[in-house]
Structure formats: structure tokens, C-alpha cells
Amino acid sequence: MEIEVVKNLIKKHTMNHSEIVCKSLTAERYYRNKNDILTYDRKKDEDSENPLRNADNRISSNFHGLLVNQKASYMFTAPPLFDIGKKESNKRITEVLGDNYAKACKDLCINAANSGIAWLHYWINDNKEFEYGVVDSKQIIPIWSSSLNKKLLGVLRTYKDIDDEGETYDIYEYWNDTECQAFKKKSSDTIDEGLQAYSMFTSFIVDTNTLQQSDIFKHDFGRVPFIPFGNNNLMTSDLDNVKPLIDVYDKVFSGFVNDLEDIQEIIFILTNYEGESLGEFLSQLKKYKSIKVENNGDADKSGLETLTIDIPVEAREKLLTITRKAIFEQGQGVDPQPQEFGNASGVALKFLYSLLELKSGLTETEFKLGFGEFVRAICKYLNVECKSIIQTWTRTAVTNDSELASICTSSMGLLSNLTLYKNHPFVEDADKEAEQKKKEGEEKQQDNDDYKDAFPNKYDNEEGNKDEQ
């Protein structure tokens, strides 16, 4: 691709991308419990000039982080399993996924929840091994087709790098279905004046037995090696629905704490007091725990009083409770506050997770498309035929184990043993449990045979005597 075309491509797509980056940064900040309350400009508040208001506590509530982690754990504590119809091929796919697969799933979910979309990049390393990794969503600018199926035509990856001399550069990688081209410019330069080809790829030349630097990297995947994982059908962040509510909660709660701190300071009202200075008055009060005030009769108002601040406690508590409830309703999560559901039925527990399940279902629909493309890329690397992919998703939720165990017991004879093992709360791997059960049955049968051989019964002896006669 000619450099002028790349310049126009970068200028066209980076303008809209800056808004996405800004929203992603805000969501990630809230995920790390760095809410707006921490940088809130108190000067805009009318109470900032109130002499009775001195406390300035800033308390950030990590509701967004809780909701995001809740969804990630609910969906990916047990990551999806894949079945392409051949046991040996499934085993090879599992080996390629490796130990990092579960963490990659959670990272994809968290990135998607914050940015609206997550990206997975895969490649072949120098040892001809298949590798993959989660890319920061803020670095990716997708180039989509205008067709209804919205095909990914290319990916522009942008990030910053610092050379050995301390100079900061903006790096641009443009990936399509055949190759990647690299470009760079100084961060202080504009696109038009500073963009140039960047030889960042190293290739080995067999004929000359030497290494060669190039700005172009060829691949044979036949498609753009970046896979999108949408958070939902609109690709919006989970923060969008709850940010105003979280800000309200933080402001009210912080104000509540400030009020409690302010009322700890007693304000003295001195009437017709002509003694020493206020500093001396407080010093004497601290030392002697008493004061002396002259009074000229019943009509004289001279004396000492204290001023207290009334706090609308009930109103604040009610508002915090309502806001907290709204956060978990709008955020479609499970409120972890202690509740009386220790012996709740399976139906009640399912109702508790109903909103979280609705949100997870939208994410699962989008993620299934991404995982399907991912598995097909692995199959191409393994040179394995892949016509259809069965994905098995498992939720991690609080369950009524005794109720599930009772259901499995009552279903014996109606359902296969393997189905019962898969749904039993104490069984993690149904296939291993079935093998272990079969092994124990064989061992028990062998023990019974050995016992019969050691102690033949009377009937067997009588039959043996008849045969001898």
C-alpha cells in the first residue's frame, strides 16, 4: 500500500477512534476504582465557601469493577469447550489453546466490558508454533466493509514506542488478509510531514543465510489475523448504563462522611464575652476544662452556647439504598449484600441471577462468533478439517447442591449415567467420573468372583458330585 493511501486511511479513521479511546479510558479508570469523585471540583459547589464545611473526603465506590468481574467470573471461570466431531482433533486444539486459554477468555470479557469490543490477535512464531494474545482495544482501528455481513477488511493497530535515544514515536501497523505493513512518525510530527515506512520485521534469507529487516510481513492465514469479540450487539461499554448512578452514590456517600466529620468539631457561641482572645479562651478551656463568664442579671444574655449540625440521616440512607439497587438493576448484576437465601431453591437462585444471565447471554452470542473463527484458524494451522463446531458454555453461580443431588438421584434409570454425572454438583469432569465408576464396577465384580472361587456354595458341590456319578 502506497504511503499516501496510508496517510489518508489514518487521518480518516483516527478522528472517530479518539472518542472511543476516551470512553475506554474512562471505563478502565472506573474499573480500577478511580471514579470522577476523586477529581471533583468542590469550588463549583455552593457549600465550598460555607465556614461550617471543612471536611473534603473523596470516597470512590468500585461498582463498575464489581459488575465487570462478576460477569467475567460467571461466564469464564469454566471457559468454553470446543468439539469439531473428532476426539483426536479436539485434543490437538486443546493443546494449542494451552494453559493461557482461561486467562485470555477473562481478559477478552473485561476488555469488551470496558471498551465495547475486545480483540484477539494470532500469529505463527519463529518455531512455527501457533500463538495468540489479547490486544488492547484502544490500539485497534477496524476497517469494515459496507456490506450487510460487515466483513473485516483490515486492522490498523496504533501504539507508541520509545527508541534508545528517548524519542517517542507513533507506530502504525496495517494488517490485511495477506500481509502487514509498518509505519512510524515522531509523536511531535503530523501525519503528512512525518509518516514513513518502518522496518520492524526481521526475516531469515535461506539463500544468503542472513537476517533482513523489512517494513512488510507476509502471512498465509487468508484472512485478517485479528478477531473481534463484541460486548453486545451495540458494542457498548457496561459503564454506560451505570456511570450516572455511580457518580450520584459517590457524591452522596462522600458528603455523608464529610458531615459526620464536621460535626465532631464543636462550635462555641460566646455572648458578651470580653475576656482574652479566642486563642487564649480555647487554651484555657483545654487546660482547665471550664470557663468563667460574668452575668449581670436575669435579662443578661451573656454566656456560652454550642452550635451543632443536623444531618438528614434517614434521607441519605434511603437515597443510598435506592441508588445501590438501581446500580445493580441497570448494570444487570447480582447484589452481593447479605441476603436470606441460604436454603433457597434452585428456582429462587436462578431468579437471583436472571439479570446477569440476560447480560451474559448477549455477550455469549457475540463471543461465539469470535471463538468459532478462532477455532477455525487453529484447525487451518493443524491442517484439520472443521465443518462444524459445538461450543459448550458453563456458568459459575451459587447453586442448591442438595436439591441438584436429589434431582440426580430421582432421575436414575430415566437418564443416562453420563447426563447425571454432568449435572451432579460434586462432579467436575463427567467423562473421568464415568471411567472411574466403570473401573470400580469392574474391581467389585472381580472381588465377587474371587470370593466365589474361594468359598464354593453347597449347590455347586452337589452339581459336581452328580457329574462324577
Residue 153 forms part of a structural domain? no
Conformation bin of residue 297: beta by default, left when phi > 0, alpha when psi is -120 to 50: left
Residue 2 forms part of a structural domain? no
Contact 204, 211 (CB under 8 A): yes
What pLDDT sits at residue 16? Answer: 84
Residue 435 forms part of a structural domain? yes
340, burial (CB in 10 Å: exposed 0-12, middle 13-18, buried 19+) = exposed
Residue 290 forms part of a structural domain? no
What pLDDT sits at residue 400? Answer: 45
Residue 440 forms part of a structural domain? yes
Half-sphere exposure of 423 toward its Cβ, with a 13 Å CA cutoff?
16
Q: Structure pTM?
A: 0.79
Contact 144, 151 (CB under 8 A): yes
Residue closest to 131 by CA, chosen among 96, 162, 166 = 96
What pLDDT sits at residue 186? Answer: 93
Residue 65 forms part of a structural domain? no
Q: Which residues of 80-112 are buried (b: 16+ CB within 10 A; e: fewer)?
A: bebebeeeebbeebeebbeeeeeebbbbbbbbb
Residue 414 forms part of a structural domain? yes
Contact 238, 48 (CB under 8 A): no
Domain span at residue 408 reads 400-469
What pLDDT sits at residue 169? Answer: 95
- The stretches in the chain having pLDDT less than 70 are 42-53, 204-209, 264-310, 338-348, 398-408, 418, 420-430, 447-469
393, burial (CB in 10 Å: exposed 0-12, middle 13-18, buried 19+) = middle
Residue 469 forms part of a structural domain? yes
Neighbours of 433 (CB within 10 A): 18
Total of domains in the chain: 1
What pLDDT sits at residue 105? Answer: 97
